[in-house]
Amino acid sequence: MRKTITQIFVGLLSIGSLYAQNAPIDFEPEGNGAEWTWTVFENDINPAVEIVANPDQSGINTSSTVMKFTALQEGEPYAGTESEHGSDIGTFSITESNSVIKLMVWKSTISDIGIKLVTPSSAADPEIKVANTLINQWEEITIDYSSRIGSPNATGVDQIVIFPDFTERDQDNIIYIDNITFSEGEETTEEEPMTAAPTPTLAPEDVVSLFSDPYTDVNVDTWNTGWSAANYEEVLIESNPTKKYSILNFNGIEITNPSIDVTTPQMNNFHMDIWTPNSTEFRVKLVDFKGDGYQGTNGDTEAELSFVLTPNAWNSLDIPLSDFMNAGMTAMTDINQLVISSDPAGASTVYMDNVYFSSESTPQDEPMTAAPTPTLAPENVISLFSDPYTDVNVDTWNTDWSAANYEEVLIEGNPTKKYSALNFNGTETTSPSIDASSPGMMYFHMDIWTPNSTEFRVKLVDFNGDGYQGSNGDTEAELSFTPSIGEWVSLDIPLSEFTDAGMTAMTDINQLVISSDPAGTSTVFIDNVYFATEPSLAIDTKLTMITSVYPNPSTSTWNFSAEQPIDHIEIFDITGKKVLSTQLGDKQFTISGSHLRSGVYFAKLKSNQSFQTIKLIKN
């Protein structure tokens, strides 16, 4: 049938009105929001929202009226308010032109605020949450909804849902909201991995695999449960099957037929390879149904661990199962669920491969956690490279005569030096040089992490006052260490060790030289390079192996056993004051603490230029 011009015009009007968006939502009498039908949900007795005078016109928001939401202590964390379907915000779709949602909030506490858009059939993608950073003043929050462009649940939406205070509460919280706008975002193409995840090398008999090409996988009921809040796809990365989760809030994976018993044979680690362009916090939960095959009735046990990932790179998570046990899990004979979640909630994208339990840990190529944060007072430190301190000038961390690849990388957001293909590398401090004799520097400190160094060496060079090498009788000394693989090692080296090794002056230190075996193929990460008046007293790293210390806590003495003779022991109290120093030479020895007061102490042990710090408790 041929349509008239009038019919076509009326049809266009109908389409235009169908996809009309009522925004901005400013809660003003003549604007949008103030006269809408707002319904409160999951907030205990559900007190209605109020349209009130702006309580604070001194900041960035000078408008007259705003929305007031009272989040009750007894309400759920996800308590919120929603507009009426169809008649309030109108009907529209999320496109590039309106995918950035901004709103002003005034809150007395820090917590997430979430936004969710809903279709007429009540379908919705998970809410996207962002926390405020300011309290007791107006702040503009930006929620990027662009990850939902093209989603069926973001097409033809006609309701907005606001979660003003998405958190557990120990009091009633009042939140003010104003000026909700929809604007155009920058056109971006979501990044994805260009290379496949690393291929595992563990022997098949040492692995129980859920998803990994080199192994035979156990049966997995589903990789995307019906209660998940994520989009799930199976994709190929360099022809390698990979799981992709987008707009990820949380996602359930179930293994019930059969469940997994990691005690027979004994598994010790849980492994996943994860790649993300935008996850700021990634969480992994294991759930054991304790033998009844389904959730709830038999006292399930679970634990969740959290990780900060390096974006745009494969992150190999090799998690000791003991970490789950330490987090509260009491059984691992009937593992039925794996739950992953991520921030930003509802907007994260995660690629996943090589999901398996193993009896051995997988060697890591880079640290998953940042180096320990130093706690020494700034006045007791001359820092070359360490975030907590003001660093002296360093001319270069990679001299032109070095034989290494040098990069500046971020580990958990922490600046770190990376040396790969390391044979030797020079760092120079000539303008000015470092005088380690004043004010009473006694130690040289470095935190190092390596996946493969079998011997690591540190050399200090003093140009002896002339500012350059060679002509004035330079003095130097090099010390050697055997680092632990795959963990941060804190080197607290007494400067006396360098003088004992032949260095005659430390008033004009101009060079630091590191080297490693295997030469030319070693990789070493470095952080917290500084001179100090006292040791760092780090208790979570080691170079030598003390096999036992007992009793600890002790009322009088501690008995030590070691794998190699311990040359020297120093004991410090928690203020860093040395309270005992003894020369040794044995693998087994006893230290008396009868003269010490009750409290916490740190034993610093030396063996063949290697060091270990151990926490001691005196009752």
State the Rg of the chain over Cα. 30
pLDDT in tens, 324-357: 999 999 999 999 999 999 998 888 999 999 999 9
DSSP 7: H
Other C-beta atoms closer than 10 Å to the C-beta of 369 total 13
Please check whether residue 569 is in contact with residue 578, taking contact to mean a CB–CB distance below 8 angstroms. no
pLDDT in tens, 160-169: 999 999 999 9
pLDDT value, residue 9: 36
pLDDT value, residue 32: 96
Query: What would the two tokens of residue 393 be?
Result: 């000038």
Helix (H, G, I), strand (E, B) or coil at 524: strand
pLDDT in tens, 432-482: 999 998 778 899 999 999 988 989 999 999 988 765 655 567 899 999 988
Q: Place 19 in a pLDDT band, splitting at 50, 70 and 90.
A: low
pLDDT above 90 covers a percentage of the chain that reads: 57
Please check whether residue 457 is in contact with residue 480, taking contact to mean a CB–CB distance below 8 angstroms. yes
What is the torsion angle, in degrees rounded to the nearest 10, for the CA atoms of residue 232, residue 233, residue 237 and residue 241?
Answer: 100
Q: Which residue has the higher pLDDT, 605 or 576?
A: 605
Residue 326 main-chain phi, psi, to 5 deg: -65, -25
Measured between alpha carbons, how far apart are the two ends of the chain, in Å?
Answer: 96
Cα–Cα distance, 318 to 358 (Å, whole number): 9
Query: What would the two tokens of residue 70 be?
Result: 């009272």
Using the predicted structure, report yes or no on whether residue 608 has a pLDDT greater than 70: no
How many residues are given for the chain?
619
Query: What would the two tokens of residue 401 be?
Result: 């005569």
Q: Which residue has the higher pLDDT, 87 or 25?
A: 25
- Mean of the pLDDT values across residues 578-592? 81
Burial of 1 (0-12, 13-18, 19+ CB in 10 A): exposed
Using the predicted structure, report yes or no on whether residue 573 has a pLDDT greater than 90: no
pLDDT in tens, 149-202: 888 899 999 999 999 999 999 999 999 999 999 998 765 556 889 999 989 989
Q: Place 612 in a pLDDT band, splitting at 50, 70 and 90.
A: confident
pLDDT value, residue 160: 97
Query: What would the two tokens of residue 92 be?
Result: 């529209």
pLDDT value, residue 542: 43
DSSP secondary structure string for all residues of 407-473: EEEEETTEEEEEEEEEEEEEEE--TT-B-TTTT---EEEEEEE-SS-SEEEEEEEE-TTSSSSSTT-
Which spans in 27-96 are helix H?
none
Q: Which residue has the higher pLDDT, 618 or 81?
A: 81
pLDDT value, residue 118: 96
Please check whether residue 84 is in contact with residue 51, taking contact to mean a CB–CB distance below 8 angstroms. no
Pairing of strands 455-462, 348-358: unpaired
pLDDT value, residue 298: 64
Using the predicted structure, report yes or no on whether residue 93 has a pLDDT greater than 90: yes
pLDDT value, residue 367: 86
Domains of the chain and CATH, by start: 20-183 (2.60.120.260), 204-358 (2.60.120.430), 378-532 (2.60.120.430), 546-618 (2.60.40.3080)
